[in-house]
Amino acid sequence: MILISVCFIFLFLLYLIMAPSDKSSDEMKTAYYILVVPEWLKVFSAYSFFGLLVIIPIYSISKSYKAGNLKIDSEYFEIMGGGNDKKIPITTIRKIMLNDVTRVFRKPNEAMEIIIFQQPSRKTSFLLRHYVQTEEFINALLQFETIELSVTGGLALETHDEEEI
């Protein structure tokens, strides 16, 4: 994610420098690029463009999902499996966001991303593979009145958390 951010910074910098030539003809834009844009920015923006073409597909493919179990108790959520066993106390949970994950062209993925926001600004996210699991999850959450629920729809929201399960 850091490499993607750095590549976007260089491309945004090139965009800012090229912004005054926006209304010009193509020949003037080319001359403006040759005469005004520094050589180091030309090189870094070219590397950034091709780097993004390579890094973004690798980043999206490299996300690993490991099977696990979720147990909801009256005092904590327990996530087991995949080498990341974790207990989240109910008292630290501020909000739970449900995101209906879709594919690239808005086709339903029939999966639900759950993002748990905790008190000291920590987040935990995981994916429920089937909608039936989501119904069971929401029914289990109805017993907790202190937890705020939010529902969104779209592409994955928190795929680069510091703690992804």
How many whole angstroms separate alpha carbon 162 and alpha carbon 165?
10
CB 66 within 8 A of CB 81: yes
The pair of three-digit structure tokens given for residue 146, joined into one six-digit string: 């202190």
Residue 162's pLDDT band, with cuts at 50, 70 and 90, is very low
At 160 the pLDDT is: 44
Residue tagged 């907790």 (tokens): 144
**The amino acid at 36:** V
| Domain identity same for 78 and 52 | no
88-143: per-residue pLDDT in tens? 888 888 888 888 776 666 656 677 788 888 887 888 877 777 777 878 888 888 88
48-70: per-residue pLDDT in tens? 999 999 998 888 777 666 777 88
- Tell me the residue range of the domain where 133 lies: 69-154
| Domain identity same for 92 and 120 | yes
22-46: average pLDDT? 93
In a domain, 162, yes or no: no
| Domain identity same for 73 and 144 | yes
Q: What is the dihedral of CA 118, 151, 75, 77, to 10 degrees?
A: -80
Q: What is the mean pLDDT of the chain?
A: 81
CA distances, 7 to each of 37, 45, 60, 63 (Å): 17, 7, 16, 20
136-155: average pLDDT? 76
Phi, psi angle pair for 91, to nearest 5°: -65, -20
* pLDDT at position 26 over 50: yes
CB 96 within 8 A of CB 115: yes
| Domain identity same for 77 and 44 | no
Check residues 82 and 133 and name the one with the higher pLDDT.
Answer: 133
In a domain, 120, yes or no: yes
Q: Percentage of residues in the chain with pLDDT exceeding 70?
A: 84
User: At a CB cut-off of 8 Å and minimum separation 6, what does 68 contact?
Assistant: 79, 80, 81, 82, 84, 126, 165
* pLDDT at position 157 over 80: no
Q: Which of 160, 156, 90, 92 is nearest to 128 (CA)?
A: 156
Check residues 150 and 110 and name the one with the higher pLDDT.
Answer: 150
Instruction: Give the domain-ending residue among 19, 37, 62.
Output: 62
Instruction: Give the domain-ending residue among 33, 62, 91.
Output: 62
Residue tagged 């690239």 (tokens): 104
At 19 the pLDDT is: 93
Residue 154's pLDDT band, with cuts at 50, 70 and 90, is low
